Structures are given as C-alpha cells and as structure tokens.
Amino acid sequence: MRPVKVGLLGLGTVGTGVVRIVEGHQEDLSSQVGSPIVIERIAVKSLYKERNIAVDAHKLTEDPWEVIRDPEIDVIVEVMGGIEHTKTYLLEALERGKHIVTANKDLMALHGSEILAKAQEKQCDVFYEASVAGGIPIIRTLIEGFSSDRITKIMGIVNGTTNYILTKMSQEGASYDDVLKEAQDLGYAEADPTSDVEGLDAARKMAILGTLGFRTDVELKDVGVRGISGVSKEDIAYAKQLGYELKLLGIAERQDDAVAISVQPTMVKQSHPIAAVNGVFNAVYVHGEAVGETMFYGAGAGEMPTATSVVADLVAVVKNLKLGVNGLKAIVPYKEKKLKSDDQISYKNFILLQVDDKAGVLAQITQVFAEYEVSLASVVQTPNEQNPGAEIMIVTHDASKASMDKVLQHFEGLQVIRRIKSVYRVEG
C-alpha cells in the first residue's frame, strides 16, 4: 500500500509538533486514511540547528524548492510563516498538483482568494484550520457545521497574548506596561509585540472568519482595527464597577447582506460566556439565524494544539485523495461584498469624561447626546481625587457610529469637558 508522502515547510514550534503527531500516531492515522502518512522532506532554515526532536538528516534541506518540486510528494504542509515568498511556493505547489495544508493566517488573510482560486483551477485542496484560534476547529465548523444556516455574527477572542495581558490587568490591577513586560519574559509576547497588541494579528484572523462566515471576500483593509496599548488599569476598574470585563474582541456582523468587521477593546457584560475566557485561551462566538448562539473555546496557540489542527487538515486531504474528491470543498467567496456605512453600524458605547465639577455640566453633556439622537442607558458621576474636576461614566443605548463620532467631535469643543478619557464598545 503506497504511503502518502508529505513535504513539510518549517520545523519550528508547530512543525515539530506536526512531526511528533504524524510519527507518534501512525497506527491511528493509517487506520483512518487506509495507508501510512510519511513526512518525506522538510525545509528548514539551518541544517545544523539543535532540535528537540530526532529527524533523519537526509530528509532535511535548506531549499524549499527541493520540497515543492519533489515529484514523490503529494501534500505540502506549510508552517514556516512569511507572506510573499511563501505565496510563491504554494502557488507553484498547486500548479504541480500538490495539496496544501497551512497555518499561515497572514498569507490567507492577504492572498487567500488567489490561493483558493488556483486550488479550484487545479482541483487541489487548501486547508488552513490552524491559521485561526490554534486547536479550536472553528474554520471547519463555519464551512461544514453552519453550511445549512445563515451566520449573522461572529465575535471572538482570537489573540492569546492580548487576552493574557487584559486578564492579568483585570485580576491583579497591574498596569499595561508591567504586564506586557511579564508576557514578553514568559514568551507569550514577541520582543516587538506590535502585531498582537495593536490588533493586527486578530484583524487578519477576523478577515478569514468573515470571508468564510459570510461567503464574501473580506480583505484586511475592510477590518477596522484598534489595539489595547491605550487601555489603562483605571479603565478596567471602571468596567468592573459597571459589571463588565474588557476584552480585545474581533466582531464580524451581517445584516441585509451588508457586513462590518472590526477589532477593538470591548466591554463585555460579565454574564456573557466570553467574559470568562481568561489567560492565553481563545473563544469564538457564532450566531446563526437557525441555531442561535454557539461558542467554541480552547487553546489558541502552542505547539501541540496548533499541530493537532494541522494534522486534522492533513487527514482530511488524504481522505479526499483516497476518494478522488480533492478540490471540491474549496470555499471561494461568491457573494458581492457590501460594507456597512457608519450610519448602519450600531452598538452600545461606554464614554469616560473628565469634566469641570460645577452645576450645569451634566445638562450640557446630555444636551449634546440629545442633539445627535443618542439615548443614554446610564450616567454615573464621581469626584476625581487626582484632579479638581469630576469624572462622568456614560453607557449609551445602541447608537450609530456616525452619530457617536459627531458626539465625540462636539465634546472636543465643549469647554466644560477637560478630556475624553476613554471610549469603548459595549457588548452583552
């Protein structure tokens, strides 16, 4: 029985996990797919790097093209990262009739449509479960589990680094800078944490989820992005006082075929399940018209959780290979993209204002909200011990983004307001 031969691009954290699972679970894998799965060639950065896994040196190469062009290889598993060079490798692999499994969210967010179109042309599989939320099978769920439903909202914690930071700030009252340094020391955050803390990593994942959930071509530029670097421990304390937790949420919504996708720090009602997702864990909440609310929770990164998703995709490719149905499951977006305007995007808001502590201030502020037809759910005014003024916490009812922008712009010129300290979306 001919084994299915795999070419592996990358032998870092996830690549090592893939080798461990494929070699360690060979009996289970063979029984599922009907033949052995063999990792035939592995492209690495250096042949001489010390590794914490034993690999046959004859399988290693520093040239990815040797793997791509090997006629014996059936499937390419890409876990090396990178965008432009990697896209070139994968398009050539597809041109040669090889199936693709990738964990590369950056590549799929930016060039996924092109890669999937090439896969469809060549009748090849491209699976990328591990590109979003590590070990949580959310992509397969969106494609298959919700195939008969119409998804109206996807909301998720899809970046473990930022969730770890916000969790520590919430539970220990620590400052952002202190927790970020701790996260870097523990290896949860990179030396340059920009992609994580400014929301770019989460935005790429939400572009993928939005594309799959709404069957339209969501591009990275369509995602509004705001990170957590401006979140203070005072903001978190105020949120808790009002019964909320602050989380960096990716939110994709659809109404009447118009979509809106964003990533931003959001106040989530403590009674909502997503508010209880802490540390480096991820969770994705999906609302379908038929099924209602569902939530998927698990490890969003790490060697074995991510590698498990990669190998699950590999098994799916091999099963398709045995059945002769490769390339039939590619989800190429088919709906015309319609983005919501600022008038159509609507949600609750939290605003924290530093104001003069004198009579009539609150009346002036509420008059501005009334002028732009924004109704208020709650208003709390407290003295500020650090300043001679006062602080006002306001939570609105649902209001359009356009109206809220006008309110905030008006506040900038209102003399009784010393500072607009914080503005957050509110969910739950």
Dump pLDDT digits (tens) for 143-194. Answer: 888 989 999 999 999 999 999 999 999 999 999 999 999 989 888 888 899 9
Mean pLDDT, the chain, integer = 93
Q: What is the CATH number of the domain that holds 360?
A: 3.30.70.260
* pLDDT tens digits along 39-66: 999 999 999 898 989 999 999 999 999 9
Q: Is residue 338 part of a domain?
A: no
293 lies in the same domain as 375: no
The first and second tokens of residue 47, run together, are: 């042949």
pLDDT given for residue 359 in this prediction: 87
Q: Is residue 334 part of a domain?
A: no
pLDDT given for residue 348 in this prediction: 98
How far is the C-alpha of 291 from the C-alpha of 149, rounded, in Å?
A: 7
pLDDT given for residue 384 in this prediction: 64
* Active site (catalytic) residues: 205
* pLDDT tens digits along 123-143: 999 999 999 988 889 998 998
pLDDT given for residue 261 in this prediction: 98
Radius of gyration of the chain (CA): 24
Q: Is residue 92 part of a domain?
A: yes
Q: What are phi and psi of 386, to 5 degrees?
A: -85, -20
pLDDT given for residue 299 in this prediction: 85
Pairing of the two strands 417-427 and 258-269: parallel
pTM: 0.91
Question: pLDDT band at residue 400, thresholds of 50, 70 and 90?
Answer: very high
Question: pLDDT band at residue 387, thresholds of 50, 70 and 90?
Answer: low
* pLDDT tens digits along 95-108: 999 999 999 999 99
Q: Is residue 379 part of a domain?
A: yes
162 lies in the same domain as 124: no
* pLDDT tens digits along 308-345: 999 999 999 999 998 888 888 766 778 899 999 999 99
How far is the C-alpha of 255 from the C-alpha of 253, rounded, in Å?
A: 7
* pLDDT tens digits along 66-85: 999 999 999 999 999 999 99
Query: Which of the listed residues 299, 333, 367 is the one where a domain comes to its end?
Result: 299
Number of domains making up the chain: 3
Q: What is the CATH number of the domain that holds 143?
A: 3.30.360.10
How far is the C-alpha of 73 from the C-alpha of 65, rounded, in Å?
A: 12
The domain of 408 spans 346-427
pLDDT given for residue 386 in this prediction: 65
Q: Is residue 251 part of a domain?
A: yes
375 lies in the same domain as 262: no
In the block, residue with structure tokens 């400014």: 198
pLDDT given for residue 248 in this prediction: 98
Average pLDDT (375-381) is: 93
* pLDDT tens digits along 213-268: 999 999 999 999 999 999 999 999 999 999 999 999 999 999 988 999 999 999 99
Report whether 417 contacts 409 (CB < 8 A): no
How far is the C-alpha of 11 from the C-alpha of 52, rounded, in Å?
A: 11
161 lies in the same domain as 121: no
Question: pLDDT band at residue 428, thresholds of 50, 70 and 90?
Answer: confident
How far is the C-alpha of 408 from the C-alpha of 202, rounded, in Å?
A: 26
How far is the C-alpha of 154 from the C-alpha of 148, rounded, in Å?
A: 16
The first and second tokens of residue 20, run together, are: 């461990």
169 lies in the same domain as 143: yes
149 lies in the same domain as 295: yes
pLDDT given for residue 147 in this prediction: 87
Query: Which of the listed residues 323, 358, 387 is the one where a domain comes to its end?
Result: 323
Of the chain, the percentage scoring pLDDT greater than 70 comes to 98
280 lies in the same domain as 318: no
